[in-house]
Amino acid sequence: MKRGLKLLSRVNVKRKLLHSVIGLAMVLISMPLLAQDEETGFVVDKIIAKVDNYILLKSELDKAFLEYVSNGGNSSPEVRCQFLAMLLRNKLMMAKAEIDSIVVSDSEVDANTKRRMEMILAQYGGSPVDLENKFGKTLEQIQVELRDQIREQMVVNEMQRHITKDIAVTPNEVRRFFNRIPKDSLPYFSAEAEVAQIVKVAAISESQKEITKRELLAIRDRILGGESFNELAKKYSADPSVTSNNGEMGFVGRGMMVPEYEAAAFKMKPGEISMPVETAFGFHILQLIERRGNEYNTRHILMAPTPSPEDLERAKLYLDSIRTLIVKEELTFQKAAKEYSDDVETKGNGGFFVDEDGGTRIAVDELDPVVFFAIDSMKVGTISQPLVYRTDLGKEAVRILFYKSRTPPHMASLKDDWQRIQNATLNQKQNRALEKWFDKARQDVFISIDPAYNYCGILDE
């Protein structure tokens, strides 16, 4: 079997880095367009591979590989070759997608880009200024580059689906795959648990919202009375980015902020301070600093109303009534989670936490510590009483947990690990199909690789 083609189809470097659009795309976005030698000052970036009209830059390979190594990855030449092969594979799929008319719509790319930008901004406290400072680029540049990376990843994913769509494995194939593994090479799994949740975010009463709005109005009056907006933002704003930007958001274009905030900004005159504006984050007062066409710069103070004890109690009673129906077997936990849970990530899985392969059995040491300690005092098969907790977005909420099963530490077996072994069997079969596809596809396009990378043997016959 050709070594080069094996490299093109391998994915045994960290899967999360390779398959996460945010992870790999933001790695590439953060690099300079031209790398510079620190001693000579000369530009050293160059094209190291071409696949028809698609090029691969040395800086792309260097940055992706160094990011992987900095996260504890293996820095061997073989792994570097695997990164080169992975990036080259993507270019090959892009070139073949044009030939085979495999496309993704602009609307899908735009929607995906918007979601990813919102997630990335959330990681920086919603502050475009902090994001721009981090990557040394404007928000528009980041969005354009991210869109290109997302489009490429979506086309690659679509090509892979097209190539492997009819591939499945039979139970006999799974057994043969497992039986070929040497007994002394079987993986050892730590203790695992299946845990599901139903979440109810506490609905904040109008009286609590009024308290927050009155507090913001009092701050607004102080600003109108001459006090510094920036100083009051540092003192009172709940936006974590305030420590670095004093509440100033920097220039952003349409679609970059939540709709309510943007609508208020475009209605205002420079210098004007708004009345409280409600968004998913809480209540804001904002001041328009400047507007340039479809871009605008604002500063704001955010205050998030907190639920009262009565608000939390209502959420508890709501979940307690659902729990009662489940215990009486009038409703299954999975159906209740899909219909009533406020947690988007788990409700589609019937409330279950899942691993990166979609499996519901999670190593106990990978569970959220709060969940781990909660089930530590529960019996398998039971449902907890409503528990107050704070969501990843910082909202006060209540949840009930279903402790479905626990698997003790064990060597891999067909009986206990069928889903995992089935996935591994399917992955192997899909990789073989991709390997055959690459062997044929590379005959249809022009591929050249810098001779400096001949040691990787990617195009070896």
Q: Tell which residue, 53, 54, 56, 32, has the closest CA to residue 43.
A: 32
CA–CA separation, 197 and 333 (whole Å): 9
13: DSSP letter: S
Q: pLDDT 10s per residue in the chain (461 long)?
A: 333 333 333 333 333 333 333 344 444 444 443 444 444 444 457 899 999 989 998 988 988 888 888 888 888 889 999 899 889 888 999 999 988 888 888 888 888 888 888 777 766 666 677 777 777 777 778 888 888 889 988 999 999 999 999 999 999 999 999 999 998 889 898 999 999 999 999 999 999 999 999 999 999 999 999 999 999 999 999 887 787 788 888 888 887 788 899 999 999 999 999 999 999 889 999 999 999 888 899 999 999 898 999 999 999 999 999 999 999 999 999 999 999 999 999 999 999 999 887 889 999 988 999 999 999 999 999 999 999 999 887 789 999 999 999 999 999 999 888 988 999 999 999 989 988 888 888 888 899 999 999 999 887 75
Q: Tell which residue, 154, 234, 238, 204, has the closest CA to residue 308.
A: 204
Q: In angstroms, how far is the first alpha carbon of the chain from the final one?
A: 9
What residue ranges define each of the domains in the chain, with the CATH number in brackets? 3-179+414-456 (1.10.4030), 189-203+308-411 (3.10.50.40), 206-303 (3.10.50.40)
Instruction: Indicate whether this model's pTM tops 0.85.
Output: no
> Please, what is the angle between helix 58-70 and helix 21-29, to 10°?
120
Strand pairing category for 277-279 and 362-363: unpaired
Strand partners, 199: 399
Strand pairing category for 396-407 and 387-390: antiparallel
